[in-house]
Structure 1
């Protein structure tokens, strides 16, 4: 299946931003754009203007054409360590809420909605036991706890095993 241009563009911007070592928020500040707009670009939800494309390229110190080089989604997370639940499922980019694109993490009493996978993963790393929401086989979202951390491979199941 062909990935739409907006999504490929967003993945490429994200790949270059991650390679620069900047968080989404720090990069958005550096590029003089709102972090929420940066998030929408990286998720393929925005249609950036030519001026925005030029600004992103300048902030990344690349030629604008570099932003249109194809990227494989799995390459973005090759060396990322994520929390795994007892059933073998893990926290991963596919767990963004279909309603608003956020990731729900934290204790039930103090749950946060974070707009990017990286922000949510950073928060999970600060918790004594990482906890996040994910859908179960019936489609209801429930809270799960980590039993271990391991590499994200891009083939993880997002729901409980039956």
Structure 2
């Protein structure tokens, strides 16, 4: 499906997906009213009323048919209060937003990577099916969301092609900057549908600092969707930590090493030339949360310790897992 480039910007965090879900639910109700008006214009008010009644009965657990008949379908539709059942109609939009923004499977966490990958695959398939007719109900208002889902899917699951509009959103580029990337840099080679090969998408997005690496790939991440870092260490057994490229988390097994000439462990945070060392993981994490940009040292694939910077949302892991890793590093490095 052709998805043109637009000037919509995708936020890097959604702090209240419930509000977003309610917004979509309201728009779905509005679309039902418009559907009734269209049927009334074409086929008459009686047929429109019968159709609207059956639609509302299918998802309203407390549908009052007598009240509907007394008011008529137009007045009844205008007075509908949303409840949890109706809002659940917008689950697909909530799931799509969470996956597009942070690569999460919020309502089906899964205990294995294969579980999470399965639900991601199901979400993408549903988006692809729905793109053919979602504009009937909601216009073009949420086309950007589907593009972002498909672009992340191409990056995560190696599907053949990614929509340019989705990549623009995931990379945080303005419309003009994306046009420049196409015409000047020669980074992309779009086809007539405005899609590019998935490999081009993966190579390009890896250099975008605003891109949030998909969180579903980290099993220690419970995919909590708030991006709150003021309280890195919480009282509910949860720890919020930053992540770097490829989802490298600021966790003990990745960042703790033995101190030179000392029988202790050390953690290094901060930009080059302004580095600080800590022996206590929680003190290091708290200090990191107070930095404008989180930076810390960790070994790369060749074992060389270098500085990385946080990208995207801070993620949540359990305190029990953190403590287990701390003890594991002590046994491995100090025994």
Shorter-chain TM-score tier: 0.3 to 0.5
- Which protein is richer in helix relative to its size? 2
Q: What TM-score, normalized by structure 2, do the two folds share?
A: 0.22
- Which protein is richer in strand relative to its size? 1
Q: What TM-score, normalized by structure 1, do the two folds share?
A: 0.45
Bigger radius of gyration among the two: 2
